[in-house]
């Protein structure tokens, strides 16, 4: 507890993911009172062609 699933457009660096995982872990520890070892973060990299908002793919031109 907890397991945090993060979906992002592909292209983030390992350093960005490390920093985000640390920030999410720190926030979980502060708010939930759990240990850092209890926090799992899973990143799902998604292509813009596989993500749509408002019926439009993010890969489509403006």
List the domain boundaries for the chain.
3-49
Kindly name the residue from 1, 2, 37, 50 that is annotated as catalytic: 2
Residue 61 appears among annotated catalytic residues: no
SS (H, E, C) 6-48: EEEECCCCHHHHHHHHHHHHHHHHHHHCCCHHHCEEEEEEECH
Domain 3-49 has CATH 3.30.70.1450: no
Report how far residue 35's alpha carbon sits from residue 52's, in angstroms, rounded to the nearest whole number: 36
Note the pTM of the prediction, 2 decimals.
0.89
Q: pLDDT tens across 13-49, in order?
A: 999 999 999 999 999 999 999 999 999 999 999 999 9
For 9, 12, 44, 59, 61, the CA distances from 51, given in Å and listed in that order, are 8, 16, 12, 8, 14
**Integer Cα distance of 44 and 12 in angstroms:** 11
């Amino acid at each position: 507890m907890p397991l945090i699933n993060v979906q992002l457009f592909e292209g983030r660096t390992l350093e960005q993911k490390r920093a985000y995982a640390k920030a999410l872990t720190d926030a979980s520890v502060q708010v939930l009172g759990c240990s850092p070892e209890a926090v799992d973060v899973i990143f799902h990299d998604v292509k813009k062609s596989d993500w749509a908002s408002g019926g439009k793919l993010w890969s489509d031109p403006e």
